[in-house]
Amino acid sequence: MLHNLFTPSVQHSLDLIGIFVFAISGALMAVRKNWDVFGIGVLAEVTALGGGLLRDLIIGAVPPAAFTDLGYFVTPLVAAALVFFLHPEVERTQTAVNVFDAAGLGLFCVTGTTKAYAYGLGLTASAALGVATAVGGGVLRDIIANEVPSLVRWDRDLYAVPAMVGAVTVVLCINYDALNAYTSSLAVLTAFLLRLLAMRYHWRAPRAWNRRSASVDVTEETP
């Protein structure tokens, strides 16, 4: 049942859209870091494919899809080329990029969860791997760019939480034998909207209870 949620062509198209928007975010960071064209391409590839590679290696789906489908590998390079030549225009549409990134987050947390379950993982492990699929590329991007990963920065709007909600929605549907194209689409939409609301209202995860540390936050330090 899990392999038949969407037709292969629709699934492939959705994957490429998600890969493209994630690659845009990676390429933009490389431009802001003043990297050369090779660095832009590398960061675009890592951001777009990192989460899926991690998932496929863990579940034993080898060789990973990124190496068996040329479209998966070429799409980030197209995004990198677009940013290389048109990065001022792309940055001016950052709001649109953020919206597409939120859509990619919702899509990948759902497809990552369903693929992990289809390969025999339990519900909890499947949900965890779905989240890793959605956020893994961004974590690798930040590490390579020598940044504190956005995933663990308290001053960033919720990112992993929407992916967790989407992944948990999927495993609940699986558990109650209710997963189909409609409920999986609802899970994508839920994660997508939650991420948009987090960006709109700057929702953030709470820090340690009754925190009284005298240390200075990285974001509060003088440059």
Tell me the mean pLDDT in the region 5-24.
82
For the record, the structure tokens of 117 come out as 């379950």
15 or 168, higher pLDDT = 168
Reported confidence tier of residue 220, pLDDT bands at 50, 70, 90: very low
User: What is the model's pLDDT at position 5?
Assistant: 63
Q: What's phi and psi for 193, nearest 5 deg?
A: -65, -40
User: Is the predicted pLDDT of residue 2 greater than 70, yes or no?
Assistant: no
Domain ranges across the chain: 7-203
Q: How does 32-46 read in b/e, with b if 16+ C-beta sit within 10 Å?
A: eeebeeebbbbbbbb
Q: Does the pLDDT of residue 62 top 80, yes or no?
A: yes
pLDDT per position as a tens digit, 92-107: 777 877 887 888 899 8
pLDDT classification of 213: cutoffs 50, 70, 90 = low
pLDDT the model gives residue 95: 80
pLDDT of residue 9: 79
- pLDDT at residue 217 tops 70: no
